[in-house]
Amino acid sequence: MSRPILVLRCGTVPYERAREAQRQLEGRRQADEIPDLLLALEHPPVYTRGRRATADELPMGTEWYEAQGIEVLDTDRGGRVTYHGPGQLVVYPIVSLAPYGDDVHAYVRGLERVMISALADHGVEAGLIEGQTGVWVGERKIGSIGVHVSRGVTTHGLAVNVDNDLQPFEWVVPCGIEGCAVTSLARELGAEQGVDAFADTVVARFGEVFEREPATADPTELGLDLPAGRLGAPL
């Protein structure tokens, strides 16, 4: 029988607020005070710099980006610079890797399968490119992965461009890849797409790939200062 995993749908949450929630949940999961869970949400416009990010990935300078209404923040996930904004689905699994033999690489491969399967369900054929991270449609990147593991518990996770503004990706060197073309589900299908509906598919596919049974929960049930709401709602 599949083990349950809680799913918290949190609407739009500022990046630092979501990061603080992840820190709290990470410690409680390490102490076995809470079960595994997924945070599904969107962020207001923000560039995040992973542990391997370099200054040339933000060529305009921090002040210029902030003048465009985009925060620039450092984070402890792996990877380089990426962009998050409304219309992009972000899923943060807070899970113990112990049942998976603490195999981080296998976990990341699983997240890739989740994204590829979910995109296929919505009519977009995606895959991997050898030597590159994330999920691609041809040579156009549509999904990113950046994870952090501490004492066997994961934070951060995956992001898929569903129906978001892609211009901010053109102002940086996304994921450290020069000339990286970026796409979205909406661009590939030529029609508007719902973030909440796509989140349903990602959650279902996560359950299949990792043999879990998703169960909806409210953030307040875990004492979190996070909203509960559907994704894709106007700010």
Active site residues: 175
- Answer whether 204's CB lies under 8 Å from 138's CB: no
Alpha carbons 45 and 173: distance in angstroms, whole number: 16
Distances (CA, A) of 162 to 5, 84, 180, 188, 199: 24, 11, 18, 10, 10
Please identify which residue in the block is written with the tokens 């892609």: 166
Alpha carbons 68 and 211: distance in angstroms, whole number: 42
The backbone torsions φ and ψ at residue 20, rounded to the nearest 5 degrees and listed phi first, read: -65, -40
